[in-house]
Each structure stands twice: as structure tokens, then as C-alpha cells.
Structure 1
């Protein structure tokens, strides 16, 4: 949720204000935009923060509001008591569950299979990738339930609309994953920054995270170029250009070796990489420096 763009400042303000109330929240956004992160941020800032935040994938919800966990099957309503129940992808909630959810929102309880009244004290949050208009027209969600849940509505902006937030977020994540994976990558080249800005990011922040984890693992240099990002439509994929870049990199390694009298450790230190990475570069470019010098 970090960022200084206008859309992110608006979102941050909505999260702060929404946390002060105890109303149901409806969070809409494309896949990978961070809808669950928004719900968690609201929970952390609310009076229910010390109580559980229970996420339920509506595709996997079992009868009786049961969910499978590592510890076995449990009732998600009881597990969320006092806290927040986050219904992820609510369009996949069954009609039976929708009717029971409406009753909980209206009366504060629902009846289990033994016709017992189970009183629930939780804050409801729901997310969807479907637009509000489509929700109403498609009939995927009961109209009355939609209006009960949609008291506070938040739309999470896609990454492509966040301007230079993309660059600042990419830099932050690159450093984070480089530390996590003991990688060498520290920054992006100008062509990589342009590629990050120009790519439409259909998978949003989730796609950015996946890309940068891969980059942090595979990078041989501190400065990451656009070719390692492998973004569709931005790759320099002609053979001649790839070969020219490889030749340039090989020449740079040779120059560093010459400057350091073929000493592997000193050369690696100048490049800001580990000895292991230096040996990979030597193997990659078929270089055999005299180690005795």
C-alpha cells in the first residue's frame, strides 16, 4: 500500500477513515492489486485489531461455514468472533451462504443445522474483481446482500495507474528480495526503469512481486537491465542486440580482471558481487584468468 501517487494517497486516506468505523466494507479491484492487504490494514487500525482476521476463499467454503485448515476443519464464523471475517471473491459464495450472511448482517445471528441460533459479533469485509454494475446485473450476488455489504466501498487502483509508484515499489522489493535470497541486485538500469513504467502490469502488484523475486535470484550484477525483467513487448529479443550486449558484458569483466591483475576476489569486490557469482561469470564468458598472478 506504499506510494505517493494521487490514487494511492486517496486509498491510504480511505483505509485510515474506514478503520475508525465498524461498518461492513466492500473492496473491489483487479487481480493482484492487494485487496486483502487493504482489508488487513483496516483491521490493524480498528478497535478489533486484537481479535482475529480470518480470510475465507469463497470458492473453498464448506457447508456450515466450515473451512479446512492445517489443524483440521473449523467454523470460520466462530474463529472470527470479535474480529474480522474477510470473504475473498464473494461472487463465488453459494446462495445458501449468502442468505445466512444476510441474516447475520440483519439480526446478528444465524441458525445452524440443528436450528440453534448462533450469535455472531464480527466485522464483515468482502472483495471482488467484478465491477459493482456487473455484480448487480449478473445476479451473482443477492441484491439485498450487496447493499448490506456495500456500505463502505473501496476500489484498489491497478498498478498501471500508480505512476512512478511502480518504480519506487520495484526498488523497495528488489532490495528486500536481494537480502532475502543473498543476491547482488541493488538497482535498475535506465532501460529497465523505462520498461517498468511502460509495461501495463495485467497481474498488478502480484506480478511485480513474482518478477522481482526471480530477478533477485538470478541477477549477476548490482544493476539490473531490462533483459532480466523479461517483460513481454519490452524485451530486446533480436539476436544481434543480445549478442552485442553479451559482448559488452564480457568486455567489462575482462577489463575488471585486468585492473585487478586477474585476482578473482579483488575483481568480484570491484563489481560488487560474490566470488561464486564471479566464477559463474567466468564460466559464462569462457574466461580463464591466471589465478597465480
Structure 2
């Protein structure tokens, strides 16, 4: 390995280490990292996956909650069954039939409620009534917030909380496991280099130092986006500082902010930033919300109130 860069051969993704663990046999088990937090997570997945019918996965935006849910599904006895995703914020109080249909669709498989804290209270009561253990549907829910706190404040139903939180897995934010950043960066570099037909094999020390110094509010999804954009811009074999343009845009102040025609009202500045992020995500609202560190429903409300969006 070059002394001035990180190479694909020098930093390998960490995999589950116990040779007899179910998670170790899964080709989709790509939770990269060798930090204490990631080793503990892989152990939890291996122990919980085959046994528990309801699991709550909690963590900030972009920490990989759906990946964990899919891996839990792959570790279960029902791994040959369907994995059905339900976006909780999209449900309303008239969706009891839809919830029952989702339960039937995911029979002998897994029904994943993404962002369950965003589910309206009225829909939560419908879900409690729709749960049918006899269907054999496994339920995994993800949450960005602490549901115990929401339950105590009356914003989440207590009976639903006890239904879904038989076991809880908490994902650490990337800023608290910075030792995993080189492995993650090299893993994404390898993936996108192959995907886009590039020959990028290394990350310069300068670029890696910037990645290590960043706070990653968008967590793993943010570093994924930064590496994707960097690989697309790189024409050589080494990813350099100059290729991390999306990281610079997220970290620094744009030069155009010094122009007199740039809005200075807080609301206008926020709206402008939201649209810039949305544009950088090619209109993908899920990615934009994760990069902004807000929920999808919050982003939708912001877009509804933006004059540019109307």
C-alpha cells in the first residue's frame, strides 16, 4: 500500500467474525466497521435474528436501520419469505384495511415499518387492532427518536410500543465510531468504482483526513453520497481532496452567499438550502431528508410552505 494513500487492498470491510453465526453466511451482511459498536451490533443481529418476532431498531437518520432490518430478516427462519416495507408517515386513520393487507402480504416473512414514530396516532390504533399473530408475520420497526419519550408525552401509543419493542437495537451515529470511516470510505470507493466503470483504487491522505474530520450529520448515507460523487468526478486511480466537492458544499459557506441578491431572512435561507440539497439528491426526498437530518414528513411540510415549490 502506498504511504501517501489508502488502497483497496489496505482497508478491507470488516465482516462478522464468528464462523458459525447466521449473519456470517449472508452475502448482504455489509455493515462495515470494526469498532466496538459495530462488533456489538453484529453480535446482537446474530443472536436476535433467528428468535425474536418483533424488533425495534433505533438510530439517527442515515445510520443504516433498514440494512439492519433486512439482515435480521435474512437471519430468521422466515428468510425465504417476503420483506415488505411500509413507510409509516404515509399511513392515515383510514388505512386499517391497507395495514391488514400488508400483514397478509408479508405472511411468513417480515413487515418493516420505516420511521414508525411518524405514524399518526389514529393509524397507530388501527395497527394495534390489525396485528394478527396467527399470520406468522414478523414485525420490525425503525425509529429516529426514543419511543419511550414519545410515549411518556402522549405522542406514541403505549400499547403499540410494548408490541414492537420486545427487543431494541440502538445504532451509534458515525461521529461516535470514527474509526470505521476509512473502512466505510474504501468499501464505497470499491462499490462505486466498479458500478461506474472507474479505475479509482486509492484515497489520498489529505482526502481521508477531511473525511475523518467531518462530523457526518447524515451518517453512513452521507458518506455514501460523498464517495459516490467523488468517484464520478475522479478520472484517475486516486481520490483527491478536490473530488470531495459535495463535502465542501455541505461543510462550508458558498461563495455566492456574499452576493447582495442572496436572501438574508432565515426562512429564505432555509428554503434555499433545502432546495440546494434536494437538487444535489436529484429530487430524491428520502436522501434529501437524511442529508438535512430531518424526517420525510418534516421535509414535506417544509416543501409545502416554500414559495418556490408552489
TM-score with structure 1 length normalisation?
0.69
> What is the CA-CA distance between 1:199 and the residue it aligns to?
0.4
Once the two structures are superposed, residues 86-140 of structure 1 have per-residue CA deviations (whole angstroms, 9 ceiling, x without a partner) of 10111122334322332355xx36xxxxxxxxx5321111111012443223322
In the other structure, the counterpart of 1:21 is 51
In the other structure, the counterpart of 2:105 is 79
CA distance in 2: counterparts of 1:171 and 1:203, whole angstroms? 18
Give the 3 Å change call, closer, same or farther, for CA 132–93 of structure 1 in structure 2: closer
Q: Is 1:4 aligned with 2:21?
A: no
Give the 3 Å change call, closer, same or farther, for CA 132–94 of structure 1 in structure 2: closer
Within 5 A, what are the aligned runs for 1:186-205?
186-205=201-220
Q: Is 1:54 aligned with 2:80?
A: no
SS at match of 2:112: strand
Within 5 A, what are the aligned runs for 1:223-238?
223-230=238-245, 231-232=247-248
Equivalent in 127, 136, 139 of residue 101 of structure 1 = 127
Q: Are the aligned partners of 1:65 and 1:77 in contact in 2 as well (CA < 8 Å)?
A: no
**Structure 1, unaligned stretches of length 5 or more?**
68-73, 110-118, 239-293
SS at match of 2:80: coil
In the other structure, the counterpart of 2:150 is 135
> What is the CA-CA distance between 1:217 and the residue it aligns to?
1.0
CA distance in 1: counterparts of 2:233 and 2:219, whole angstroms? 22
Q: Indicate the RMSD between aligned Cα atoms, in angstroms.
A: 2.3
Equivalent in 140, 144, 167 of residue 159 of structure 2 = 144
Q: Greater CA radius of gyration, 1 or 2?
A: 1
In the other structure, the counterpart of 1:180 is 195
In the other structure, the counterpart of 2:9 is none
CA distance in 2: counterparts of 1:130 and 1:213, whole angstroms? 28
Q: Are the aligned partners of 2:113 and 2:140 in contact in 1 as well (CA < 8 Å)?
A: yes
Q: Are the aligned partners of 1:104 and 1:120 in contact in 2 as well (CA < 8 Å)?
A: no
Deviates more, 1:205-214 or 1:221-230: 221-230
Q: Is 1:89 aligned with 2:119?
A: no
Q: Is 1:208 aligned with 2:223?
A: yes
Judging by fraction of residues, say which structure has more strand.
1
Give the 3 Å change call, closer, same or farther, for CA 234–53 of structure 1 in structure 2: closer
**Structure 2, unaligned stretches of length 5 or more?**
1-30, 256-310
CA distance in 2: counterparts of 1:77 and 1:104, whole angstroms? 8
TM-score with structure 2 length normalisation?
0.66
CA distance in 1: counterparts of 2:75 and 2:167, whole angstroms? 16
CA distance in 1: counterparts of 2:151 and 2:239, whole angstroms? 46
Q: Are the aligned partners of 1:177 and 1:216 in contact in 2 as well (CA < 8 Å)?
A: yes
CA distance in 1: counterparts of 2:116 and 2:147, whole angstroms? 12
> What is the CA-CA distance between 1:234 and the residue it aligns to?
6.9
